[in-house]
Amino acid sequence: MIKLVGLIPLFPLIGFLINGFFGKKLSKSLSGLIACAAILASFIVSVGIFMEARHLPEHSQIVNLFSWINAGTLDIPFEFVVDPLSTWFLLIITGIGFLIHVYSTSYMHDDEGFSRFFTYLNLFVFFMLLLVLGNNFLIMFVGWEGVGLCSYLLIGFWFKNTDYNNAARKAFVMNRIGDLGFLLGILLIFVTFGSISYDEVFSKAGTAEHGTITAIALLLFIGAMGKSAQIPLYTWLPDAMAGPTPVSALIHAATMVTAGIYMIVRSNVFYSISETASAVVAVVGVATALFAATIGLFQNDIKKILAYSTVSQLGLMFLGLGVGAYSSSVFHVTTHAFFKALLFLGAGSVIHAMGGEQDVRKMGGLKKALPITFMTMLLGTIAISGVPGFSGFFSKDEILAHTYEHSPILWFFGMLTSMLTAFYMFRLMFLTFWGSFRGTKEQHHHLHESPKAMTFPLIVLAILSVAGGVLGLPHFWGFHNFIGDHLEPLILRKNPSTLPHDTEWMLMGIASLAALAVIYVAYIIYRKRHIIPLNENDKMPALQKTIYHKYYVDEIYDAVIRKPVDVISHVFYKFVDKQIIDGLVEGVGTSVKGIGSVVRLAQQGDISFYIITMMLGVIGILLFTFLL
Amino acid sequence: MINGISINYYILLSAILFIIGSIGVMARRNSIIIFMCVELMLNAVNLLLVSFSTLHGDAKGQVFVFFIMAVAAAEVAVGLAILSMIYRNVKSIDTQLFSNLKN
Amino acid sequence: MLGYTITQWLFGILSFLAIMFGLMVVFSRNPVNSVLYLVLTFFCIAGHYLIMNAQFLAIVHIVVYAGAIMVLFLFIIMLMNLNEDSEPQKTWLTKIIAAVAGGMMLFVLVGSLKGSEQLGLSVNGSSQIGLVKNLGIVLFKDFLFPFEIASILLLAALVGVILLGRKDPQVLDKKL
């Protein structure tokens, strides 16, 4: 079965090709069916491979598909690696991908670009699978770039709107900046170790110079910064909400943005060796988490709230990576995928019911009209807030415990972030589902629960959000930590937790109490006092205004980076392109004409002149041949 | 040795006649004179061929001269016909005036 | 006689005459004179052929060249009414350049002879190859095909000349 791993990316690729070439001719239901069936097939094969891979003796097997690059001494085969990490991510990608595909068949039902949507979605899943399955950094990079491309295509899906196109372009360009760092990291790896296959590189990691390892780790992290929206390359993620909601759910919550985390977990040996790099990762992670959480407090667009929440949670995951809690971060990736996808799909359901309205200030009291959506979103929100017993609680707690062990200050900021997360998530819930309806009369008329194709994935994800905690139950409760044990072979430098059990209980208690307290505060503010967020034109306190405008980060980027680039490009256009390059090209033509007009004078048309010249030539030849 | 004359003298003679012919081609403007000098050059070559054929006792040289003469005759006929056509159009046979291909 | 055989005397005289007449061809003003001098040059060369016992070629040379080709030249010159006055001259510079070029060429050609021995190859064939009969045998046995092609060539030249020499009716009208 493991040898069939090549099929897993193949099914989405076939789906992409069929929908890409014949999509217009197929009926909508057939098109959607093909796409969903492809992902389902991949999921089934993934499950099979996952089961089998757990019993592998060395915990990993490499499946060679074909010899890819073979030039001189450079030999890069196209290999897939089947090991705990890749199989785990396979399940997440194909499983949640399938649910989102099913959801999309209903959500995008009225859209005329239906088959194009599924083409892009399948292509995205294909590249994401390549990313996690590859056995060397180059295949990962191919998948990395590919998902960036699909992200661009999908964010700008409704391409007739210029703002959406700009958002797509912004995402792509920021990604590329990160990719430059990533590529430099790969090149440095190749130069240092002479290979880019995981097994060869990681086994030799100990032999390289410490400074080089730090450089490699930091360069790779720059790539992760771009792909997983960390400071300073995070501003594309909120703008990426311009894409259809299933896209936000799949790409910007569950899969693509987790590629950075996958990459770091895969290369964990570098980060274990280099403490500097790990420290950078942790600090950037927690800073992003806190920063994004504060912005999320004042956002009014339902999808933007979720977007900033994603950035914040990703920051927490990087915090976990930075302190060496690799399996905890993967655990949080998993639970986050469950509840964030659920929340996004639920938001899509709400937007669908509201006829396209996304502003929470215009919603309210939807729990009667959208019962299933309400119930599932509530479960998701409880999970993300870290209420004990739900999945989010266990994963977040693990990260925070490891953080506390590493540095209490970082733990404090992480704790603060969790509290803010609970606050703004429940703010969203209260404003959307409770209270009286604040929208227009037609919207009220239009309210209806979503069709089964949309509610079914919501229900499944809700169940997973609630029960997902079993994957990583803590040791000190006496359980086996499934995911920790599962990923254990991958972590090359062990870093077991040495916290005494009392401290762990205390941390858990603090977290739970804080979460519940914050939820109560949110209840007070938004339910009891019925406070509704201000409109744009109303006066706001200065601090709130700054945070509402996202700390003016976009404007800063515009002034500091974009304007100089604009000036430089203008100079290049006016001067270099027009004068130098065009001058050169035209100069070639002009000079040929000039030389021609001079050489032409030799054509006298007078035959004796030709004969004299010929004679002289013959004399010259004979001279050289005979006499010299 | 051809009857006591070394072949070098024949080569020399042939070369001199050839050069005289080519000087004529370069230095004269009258097309017909140029043509005649070309004939002179051809004859120089004929002389050389015959002398070598006599030297080696090989008849092929003389046969080749025979053919050269035939070709030269044909060439003169056609060339003069062309010249008379040009004369009809340009009313002169000065080569300086035949410069339509200039530049 | 005087240390040279008669053949060598004949060779010397004929060469001298040939070169002199050749020079006269090039340097004479009157084109008619040039033609006549060329005829004389041809006769000298025919004399050379006779020394070398190429009888057939000598006769053919006189008949074809002096008899036919030169007559043709003379005819054309008479037709165009060329004489000394209407003769265009090249600039002095050109003439000097031509002479110099020619001289250099001669120098090179002669210089290439330097160091070569007097060829004393054994004569394989007889000295009778110039006779009509022997030449005819070689021509018609080994070179029959080129011979026939040469006749076709002459036919082509004939046709070409007739076509070229035709007067256009338009030109005729213009002249009149």
Tell me, what's the pLDDT at A488?
75
Contact list in C for residue B34 (CB cut-off 8 A) is none
In this prediction, residue B99 has a pLDDT band, given cuts at 50, 70 and 90, of low
Q: Rounded to the nearest 5°, which phi and psi values hold at B28? A: -105, 150
Lowest mean pLDDT among A500-504, B18-22, C141-145: A500-504
Tokens 């309205």: give the residue: A357
Contact C94 A616 (CB under 8 A): no
How confident is the model over A509-528, as pLDDT tens digits? 888 888 888 888 888 887 76
Contact C82 B30 (CB under 8 A): yes
Residue numbers of the domain that contains B64: 7-97
Which chain A residues in 596-615 lie under 8 Å from chain C, judged by CB atoms?
Answer: 608, 612, 615
CA dihedral A578, A582, A586, A588 (to 10 degrees): 140
Tell me, what's the pLDDT at A211?
86
- For B99, which of A601, A605, A615 is closest by C-beta distance? A605
Q: Does B45 touch chain C (CB under 8 A)?
A: no
In this prediction, residue C130 has a pLDDT band, given cuts at 50, 70 and 90, of confident
Lowest mean pLDDT among A170-174, A445-449, C49-53: A445-449
Mutate which of A615, A621, A625, A628 to disrupt the C interface (most C C-beta within 10 Å)? A615
The SS3 of residue B97 is helix
How confident is the model over C137-175, as pLDDT tens digits? 888 998 999 999 999 999 999 999 998 877 766 655 555
Tell me, what's the pLDDT at C122?
43
CB A336 within 8 A of CB A468: no
Tell me, what's the pLDDT at A569?
86
In total, chain A counts a number of residues equal to 628
Which chain C residues in 137-176 lie under 8 Å from chain A, judged by CB atoms?
Answer: none
Tell me, what's the pLDDT at A513?
87
Global pTM reads: 0.67
Residue B66 has pLDDT above 90, yes or no: yes
How confident is the model over B37-56, as pLDDT tens digits? 999 999 999 999 998 888 88
Q: Assign 3-class secondary structure to A332-372.
A: HHHHHHHHHHHHHHHHHHHHHHCCCCCEHHHCCCCCCCCHH
Average pLDDT on A40-54 reads: 89
Lowest mean pLDDT among A66-75, A241-250, A591-600: A66-75
Between A181 and A599, the more confident residue is A181
Between C43 and A52, the more confident residue is C43
Q: Does C71 touch chain A (CB under 8 A)?
A: no
| Average pLDDT across chain A, whole number | 84
Tell me, what's the pLDDT at A248?
87
Contact C129 B53 (CB under 8 A): yes
Q: Does A622 touch chain C (CB under 8 A)?
A: yes
Q: Is B86 part of a structural domain of the chain?
A: yes
The CATH number of domain C1-110 is 1.20.120.1200: yes
- What residue in A sits closest to C116 (Cα-Cα)? A626
Size of interface B-C (CB pairs under 8 A): 227
- List of chains touching B (3+ CB pairs within 8 A): A, C
Lowest mean pLDDT among A23-27, B80-84, C55-59, C88-92: C88-92
Which chain C residues in 9-48 lie under 8 Å from chain B, judged by CB atoms?
Answer: 11, 15, 18-19, 22-23, 25-26, 31, 34-35, 38, 41-42, 45, 48
User: Residue C106 and residue C115: Cα distance in Å, rounded?
Assistant: 16
How confident is the model over A270-325, as pLDDT tens digits? 888 888 888 999 999 999 999 898 888 888 888 989 999 999 899 999 998 888 88
Closest CA to C70 of A207, B80, B50, A220: B80
Q: Rounded to the nearest 5°, which phi and psi values hold at A496? A: -70, 155
Q: Total domain count for chain B?
A: 1
- For B20, which of C7, C23, C120 is closest by C-beta distance? C23
> Hey, what amino acid is at A462?
A
How confident is the model over A217-228, as pLDDT tens digits? 999 999 888 888
In 10 A of CB A73, how many CB atoms?
6
Between A512 and C128, the more confident residue is A512
In this prediction, residue C118 has a pLDDT band, given cuts at 50, 70 and 90, of low
Between A527 and A34, the more confident residue is A34
CB A201 within 8 A of CB A195: yes
One-character DSSP codes across A63-100: EEEEEEEEETTEEEEEEEEESHHHHHHHHHHHHHHHHH
Q: How far is A600 from chain C (nearest CA, A)?
A: 21
Tell me, what's the pLDDT at A531?
66
Between A184 and A194, the more confident residue is A184
Tell me, what's the pLDDT at A533?
67
Side-chain half-sphere CA neighbours of C104 within 13 A: 17
Residue A579 has pLDDT above 50, yes or no: yes
Task: Extract the tokens encoding A409.
Answer: 């200050």
Mutate which of C108, C112, C113, C114 to disrupt the A interface (most A C-beta within 10 Å)? C108
Contact list in B for residue C7 (CB cut-off 8 A) is 3-5
User: Residue A79 and residue A81: Cα distance in Å, rounded?
Assistant: 7
Contact C108 A627 (CB under 8 A): yes
How confident is the model over A117-164, as pLDDT tens digits? 999 999 999 999 999 998 889 999 999 999 999 989 998 888 888 888
- List of chains touching A (3+ CB pairs within 8 A): B, C
Tell me, what's the pLDDT at A125?
92
For chain C, give every domain's residue range: 1-110, 132-176
- What residue in C sits closest to B70 (Cα-Cα)? C150
Tell me, what's the pLDDT at A597?
84
Tell me, what's the pLDDT at A493?
67
Q: The dihedral of CA C31, C36, C38, C39: what is its sign? A: positive
Size of interface A-C (CB pairs under 8 A): 28
- For C101, which of A616, A622, A623 is closest by C-beta distance? A616
Average pLDDT on C25-32 reads: 88
How confident is the model over C61-85, as pLDDT tens digits? 999 999 999 999 999 888 887 776 6
Mutate which of B43, B67, B97 to disrupt the C interface (most C C-beta within 10 Å)? B43
Q: Is B1 part of a structural domain of the chain?
A: no
- What residue in C sits closest to B12 (Cα-Cα)? C110
Tell me, what's the pLDDT at C110?
81
Closest CA to C132 of C29, C64, C55, C18: C55
Task: Extract the tokens encoding A298.
Answer: 């004042």
Is the backbone peptide bond immediately before A232 cis, with ω within 30 degrees of 0?
yes
CATH of the domain at B34: 1.10.287.3510
Tell me, what's the pLDDT at A458?
86
Average pLDDT on A448-472 reads: 82
Provide the percentage of residues in chain A whose pLDDT is more than 70.
95
Mutate which of C90, C95, C105 to disrupt the A interface (most A C-beta within 10 Å)? C105
Q: Of A366-370, C111-115, C161-165, which one has max mean pLDDT? A: C161-165
Average pLDDT on A182-198 reads: 89
Average pLDDT on A416-422 reads: 90
Residue A551 has pLDDT above 80, yes or no: no
